[in-house]
Amino acid sequence: QYQCKTTFDWSRFISLYERGIDRGIGYRDSMQDVLGVMHTVPEQAKNRIVELLKVQLSAGDAKSVFYPATKLASGGGRSDDHLWAVFSVCTYIKETGDFDFLDGQVPYYDCGEATVLQHLEQGIKFTMSKLGKHGIPLMLGGDWNDSISHIKRTGDVESVFVFFQLAHAVKELMELYKYLGADEKYSWAEGIYAYCKSKLDVVWDGEWFLRAFDGYGDKIGSKENEYAKLFLNTQSWAILSGLASGEQSVKAMNSVKKYMVSDFGIELLYPAAPGFDIEKKCFIAYSAGVRENGAIFCHSNPWAIIAECLLGRVENAFDYYFRLLPSRRNDKAEICKVEPYVYCQNILGRANSRHGEGANSWLTGTAAWMFIALSQYLFGIRPDYDGVYVEPHMAESWDNMYIERVVRGVRLKVKVRRTNASESNNDIKCLRMNGRQIGGTKIPYSMLDGVHEAYIEVIL
């Protein structure tokens, strides 16, 4: 949590590794960093969201870097920046219940202004207006993976990652509209989600999901490729978005487990590219096993953990969590070379002779997302619009665990125990709050009114 606050304060623009020159506060970086502090400094998180929305353009996309001293911004033209705002705003409202935030007026960077909710909707409309020949969102200037943006030299590139990110965003808006009773808006978002569902076969490669289509129409992240056959992010986000079928989800994550898991975490792609393919696919700007070319890009690991939780494969989720846990590096300092008490951005992959060596510690989106993965999915305490989910997952070797979490001013004290040591599943047999039986796994906020501490017992 300390790293979450540090990353929230500084984004990526000054550290041991970054000089602080022409770096600023990254739009997509900071829209994710707010997730790690939403429960501790929600007002500051809201203010940061507003600062970032102010550098969104009226068309719907956003500038990529914001300078807080001058209020100016630069860059932009990427396909993913604006979509990150949806999850951040929805998470803030679930955490605080501040629905009035949606109606607040925020100016666009170029001209005009709109409500916070309209900013989110305009971002969705922008993405839907930029589809490629397969009907998949264009990568434009790049997406989350900066390295592979080099393939845009081949022409109009379609990003399967942004495709799943779009579906995830409209799914979040559908849940919000449903709670608000906004039927017309719900139908609009549902139509986009249905469109994404109709394109699922286009991006499925048989054992996993593709990463992109390049300007030649060739597949990126396919079994047909010589290298970079399999990318991590499209497998996890297929599940986070809810688009993938059960069979596809299991096959995709089984492929991740088979090919991509190292002792230090899950690698970003497999196999690492040996070098540039100048003629057609010059998209890997690093040596084999370095950064986006087959390293353990730590930011992407929490998404795989969340995906495994959603699939109910708890042992895989805990395994991936512990592989990347900084304290596991404490007795491997001569290999890892980064502090064993914070997450770093990336760790050299198995294709590199210095496998296990880390770089760019502290300022990484890994911190916020790993906190979300641990607290809301592994530990399972997840605020929603009308209540808080209590869906803890427990490692097979554990008999019990204890969690404390403050939700809307109420301290939840959660004791989890397994009644039968021979059973390793995480099905909840009984959920009680202050001695009262709860039906389902969500405690309504109405039950927390006037309560300072809630004693919650979960029996698996």
Q: Cα dist. 200→137, 380, 455 in Å? A: 13, 29, 44
* Helix axes 183-198 and 116-128, enclosed angle (nearest 10): 30
Given 22, 146, 331, 399, which residue is catalytic? 146
Is 81 annotated as catalytic? Answer: no
CA 215 to CA 138: how far, in whole Å?
Answer: 10
Q: What is the DSSP string of 386-435?
A: SEEEE-----TT-SEEEEEEEETTEEEEEEEE-S-TT------SEEEETT
Residue 94: both structure tokens together: 């679930």
**Using an 8 Å Cβ cutoff, are 65 and 30 in contact?**
no
Instruction: Give backbone dihedrals phi and psi of 444, rounded to 5 degrees, phi first.
Output: -65, 145
Beta carbons within 8 Å of 30's beta carbon, 6+ residues apart: 8, 11, 48, 52, 66
**Using an 8 Å Cβ cutoff, are 86 and 173 in contact?**
yes
| DSSP E strand boundaries for 75-157 | 105-107, 113-115
- Cβ-in-10-Å burial (0-12, 13-18, 19+) of 253 comes to buried
Q: Beta strand pairing status for 410-417 and 453-459?
A: parallel
**Using an 8 Å Cβ cutoff, are 328 and 262 in contact?**
no
CA 275 to CA 293: how far, in whole Å?
Answer: 9
Catalytic positions? 146
